[in-house]
Amino acid sequence: LEMFPGESSGACWKSGIDFHVNTPTQQMYRLCRECPVRAACDEFSIRNERFGFRAGRKAKERTALRKELGIPEPPMKEVELV
């Protein structure tokens, strides 16, 4: 299930690596840098993802960027509340 159009074309989908972690590896950074949908992933994740590594950014980096840009923190998802 794609979270944004084109997500299944992302390097992370094809890698088999779990990007829902907070300690990314150098391989994950490299995949994101070279990803054809990085810009769309970044835009989506800044507005919608509280956790994990997305579009080459850690969760805390997205939080800082949201504050800088005046974008509200996304709401908690039910699966995150469990």
Is residue 79's pLDDT more than 70?
no
- Reported pTM: 0.83
pLDDT in tens, 30-66: 999 999 999 999 999 999 998 889 999 999 999 999 9
Which residues are 54's β-sheet partners?
A: 57
Which residues are 57's β-sheet partners?
A: 54
Coil, strand or helix: which one is 14? Answer: helix
